[in-house]
Chains A and B, each alone.
Chain A
Amino acid sequence: MEYTKVQEIKGPLIVIDGVTKASFDELVEIETVDGETRLGKVLEIGFGKAVVQVFEGTYGLSITGTKARFLGKTMEMPVSQELLGRVFDGLGRPIDGLPEPIAEDFLDINGSPINPEMRDYPEDFIQTGVSVIDGMLTLVRGQKLPIFSGSGMPHNTLAAQVARQATVSGSGEEFAVVFNAIGVQHGEAQYFKRSLEESGALRRSVLFLNLADDPAIERIITPRVGLTVAEYLAFDLGMHVLVITTDMTNYAEALREISAAREEVPGRKGYPGYLYTDLAMLYERAGKVKGLKGSITQMPILSMPSDDITHPIPDLTGYITEGQIVLSRELFQKEVYPPAGVLMSLSRLMKDGVGEGKTRSDHMEVSNQMYDAYSRSQEVRALSEIVGKAGLTDVDLKYLEFGNQFEERFQRQSDDENRTLEETLGRAWDVLSLLPEGELTKIKENYVKQYYKAK
């Protein structure tokens, strides 16, 4: 059904009058006077009025001559295995010069919540080849582990490295990458594409690109389209899918824009009160399901405005995700790559993904000891700035050295260096061996005997 009585255009919304047949969340095709078509969806319907959010923005729309076609369904994404190796825009339309995909199925991009009863607990180790992640912030299949970053920091380099290097144990497992770019610059999107191409991984990747100069409201759709494809690859085709989404801050800003246009009561910093729920609808689409082979692991990236971790976007994200990798401005300035600040970072599911039979039996204890010692080394560093090195005890000095070597030998690596787990743990023991044996209180005696490198 098509309606032409546009009553109001405000921000990304148009209000259409005289609508008798439309449903909540229905997909709408808007035709401008010039015959251009745009997509939108119903945000509110009733008393003859439909409030429609236009994904490509309302720029150039007019009260007269605009047509709105209600398509009788919610927005759907065509899915098939042939989506792998393809590049789409932020609404899921091909931009690689190839034809529209021929769909095996059409899926509602909003998905449905996974029944908690049907979830399978994530506990399979994913090796990323990055020491600080594998050693101390272990990623497991079905986890959602975001990167909290700041402007100018190498979050995309790190995410691309993880996408290239990630391997899972067990041969014959099919692995795929879904990359959602939300409001990123052209160069960043190209970097990802090239990085996947050069490692031959493009063939098992699907890219959705909403670039910085693409319509802002489209950003609401991009992650949903990407996750819908990920769900199909994972739960229908049995693949292990890694979803990388960058940058969630742009997503939240688009959400804020719509909320403001609807004149909703804002929560913190002008973001809508439902930001938490809305983000959860995306992040909770990660997981593993009983009886099905595949999994969805999410690595969303967000830049913290002014490096502020208490800003609503990182804050609410941290409450939903299973840990976070926080990039540290200080390490970045020291040119340590990857500049993950381990003390503020955490992988909640690590405890279930490491150890005997998964990685190595001393892994968890080594990690705990590394945290403990690095935390102590930071205290000593701060203290040495007050009292000078002369005021430090012998043990303190060893911690100081530990802290330095932790960053240099363990954490620092190049962005094309793919370390094995043995190497990562070996380096961990190298730096732990800088401390007196008696300081290793978190590691069982037999592991200390086996791995501690006495001088």
Chain B
Amino acid sequence: MVAKGRIVWISGPAVKADGMADAKIYETVHVGESKLIGEVIRLTGDIAFVQVYESTAGLRPGEPVEGTGKPLNVLLGPGIIGRIYDGIQRPLDDIAKRSGTFIGKGISTMPLDLKKKYKFMPTLKIGDEVLAGSKIGEVDETPLVLHSIMLPPDHPGGKITTIEKEGIYDLEHPIATVQHNGKDTEVLLYQYSPVRKPRPYLQKLDPNIPLITGQRIIDTFFPIAKGGTGAIPGGFGTGKTVTLHQIAAWADSKVVVYIGCGERGNEMTEVLRKFPELIDPNSGRPLMERTVLVANTSNMPVAAREASIYTGVTIGEYYRDMGYDVVLVADSTSRWAEALREMSGRLEEMPAEEGYPSYLASRLAEFYERAGRVKALGTPDRTGSVTLVGAVSPSGADFTEPVTTHTIRFIKTFWGLDTQLAYSRHYPSINWMSSYSGYLKDISKWWIENVSKEWYNLRGEGYSILQREDTLKEIVRLLGPEGLPEEEKLVLEVARMIKIGILQQSAYDKIDTYCVPAKQLKLLKIIVEFGKEANKALKEGASLPDITKMPIITRLLKAKFEIPNDQLEKFDELANDMIIQFKQLTGKQEVEH
């Protein structure tokens, strides 16, 4: 029996309705004559507290509130990829068809086009046994994503009694029948999934494969694993969004879910415009063919912003269950936390720090816990992952505020953006002293097996130069550079080369925007080698000004722009020239005339 009540109180996105004794907590309801979409978030006696996902202006007490009997859920099936949804999975293009330029109210739409036809290829046959989550066939969703048709995770399983042949079917066509205890159930090309509950899996696996993003400071210095968690906190203007766009564009995952949660409208437009033009380096296809956008911009209703995170992660888990690596980028989790705070305030709950509800930490923990590399339910064996990367927008760029401090507890990779670096136009402005990665050890095996044995040590050497520079900088600040011995001045010079030649990376340069692991290693290696050779030369009597005037330096610094990912042999030439120049410097080789 669905609840039928009446509105008794309205304040912004919060509505109270009486006569709601039959409602369930987290049930989706229709609010008012215009059937605004809402969700029950608290029940007291027969009064339901509803958060409404649309503007409540014009709503009056006395209007009806009707339950739907269902929790807030998403519709999962072919057709998700390449689309842009709002926080409760309404396609924004459908909304635009109904209400034009501006978002209207009370618009209900289908998240997927049920009439659209897809080519289905069965992978099982009549008589095969299936379990909950088992894959029964495939659909070509985009040229990049082969979509597995799976039994819903709450399906009892059983024996296939009918299954369609290879052919073209729309989403409403029953594709197979499964018999369990003598009862037949139809399997469709789509399924519903509640958003606030993680989709179940068989087993969690260790995250020991790096997510390659092509961003040097991330992959080489502070890597994240597939199925891992990472956070990017940073004040405004530090380039958070550019960094997130870079991860979304270049990460070596099969599917990308990008959640614009309480952020700028124009940023969504930028993704929509740029991604169809960018080409996936692994497949040669437009990036939009693997991307889903969830856009609940800052001026869209605040309650739907709260939901957008869950909508996105549930979509991500669905593709994970197909055996794919999924990257989910949430920009920004701070705005999500603020939505939580606003609803909590309207509920008149007792606030904790800075007005945030006391359950902020547990909600953050629950969200990041949905990351992971897992073995999916059912047959055949499939391993997939969801990697969660959350932007944090600390107020006043103060990393001690509640959202940042709580987030840090639940993530393993921390990329701290630095206002001072951004002011001096060092991008990405990830601070190498405050950032860290908890996956370094786990993923070094992959680098050693796939790129080079030297990786772990080289990274260590490179990083120790940066650490030494950090200490020496203090002395320079007090005494000026002249207070340092030559050997330490050299450390400053090599550190400068690492910063410019490796850490700084231009998102807008055709070559530099994406750097393959092998190139990352070669860049690091050649600059570390330079440091060693220079040190040796210094000991053999060369002067530091002579070293810093070496023409090879500019070439080393420009190698990131000038050597494309597919011409890495050019590094050998560069290394040769470097050795020759050092020999000339120390007089071991005559200058050629």
Contacts and interface: CB of A to CB of B under 8 A. Distances in A.
Given A115-B95, A119-B269, A312-B395, A284 B299 contact: yes
A43 interface: yes
Nearest to B57: A25
Given A116-B297, A117-B96, A284-B297, A266 B355 contact: yes
Interface stretch (B8-16, B163-171, B371-379, B430-438): B8-16
A430 to B, nearest CB: 21
Nearest to B500: A441
B84 A117 contact: yes
A-side binding surface: helix, strand, loop or mixed? mixed
Interface string B248-267: 00000000000010101110
A287 B264 CA distance: 11
B302 interface: yes
Of B61, B266, B397, B482, the most chain A CB neighbours within 10 A belong to: B266
A287 B266 contact: yes
B237 A346 contact: yes
A280 interface: yes
B354 A268 contact: yes
A43 B13 CA distance: 11
- Most chain A Cβ neighbours within 10 Å, of B7, B9, B95: B9
Contact of A113 (B84, B266, B299, B335): B299
Which of B92, B273, B395, B398 has the largest number of chain A CB atoms within 10 A?
B395
Interface in A289-319: 289, 292, 310-312, 315-316, 318-319
A22 interface: yes
Interface string B406-429: 000000000000000001110000
Contact of A319 (B341, B393, B508): B393
B10 A273 contact: no
B343 to A, nearest CB: 10
B427 to A, nearest CB: 10
Contact of B265 (A116, A343, A346): A116
A100 interface: no
A118 B265 CA distance: 10
A322 B342 CA distance: 25
Given A117-B96, A280-B298, A319 B101 contact: no
Interface in A310-353: 310-312, 315-316, 318-320, 322-324, 343-344, 346, 349, 351
Interface in B231-287: 235-237, 260, 262, 264-266, 268-270, 272-273
Binding site secondary structure of chain B = mixed
A35 to B, nearest CB: 29
A24 B482 contact: no
Nearest to A117: B92
B265 A387 contact: no
B480 A387 contact: yes
Interface in A16-47: 21-26, 43-47
Given A265-B355, A310-B397, A320-B298, A26 B58 contact: yes
A188 interface: no
Contact of B342 (A274, A368, A371): A274
B174 interface: no
A11 interface: no
A169 interface: no
Nearest to B94: A117
Nearest to A343: B423
A416 interface: no
Given A118-B100, A320-B264, A383-B480, A47 B299 contact: no
Interface size class of A (residues with CB under 8 A): 35 or more
B138 interface: no
A285 B264 CA distance: 11
A76 to B, nearest CB: 12
Given A26-B58, A277-B302, A344-B423, A113 B9 contact: no
Interface string A94-137: 00000000000000101111111111111000000000000000
Contacts of B295: 116
B264 A318 contact: no
A120 B335 CA distance: 24
Given A21-B60, A113-B102, A113-B299, A121 B398 contact: no
A116 B424 CA distance: 32
Contacts of B273: 121
Nearest to B302: A277
Contacts of B84: 116-117
Contacts of B338: 273-274, 276-277
Given A21-B60, A115-B103, A267-B341, A121 B355 contact: no
Interface-centre pick from B11, B299, B557 (highest chain A CB count, 10 A): B299
B424 A343 contact: yes
Contact of B101 (A24, A292, A315, A368): A292
B538 to A, nearest CB: 19
A44 B10 contact: yes
Contacts of B59: 23-24
Counting chain B CB atoms within 10 Å of each CB, the highest count among A25, A46, A368, A386 belongs to: A46
A319 B10 contact: no
B93 interface: yes
Nearest to B260: A116
Interface string A42-78: 0111110000000000000000000000000010000
A235 B100 CA distance: 12
Complex A-B, nearest 9 residue pairs according to Cβ-Cβ distance, in ascending order: A46-B9, A310-B396, A280-B298, A318-B236, A112-B102, A284-B299, A25-B57, A117-B92, A387-B480
15 contacts: A25-B57, A26-B58, A46-B7, A47-B8, A115-B95, A115-B103, A116-B269, A119-B268, A268-B354, A280-B298, A315-B395, A319-B393, A322-B264, A386-B478, A441-B554
Given A112-B55, A117-B272, A372-B425, 17 more contacts: A23-B60, A24-B57, A112-B104, A115-B101, A118-B101, A119-B266, A119-B269, A120-B269, A121-B269, A121-B270, A267-B354, A285-B299, A310-B396, A318-B235, A343-B424, A346-B237, A375-B425
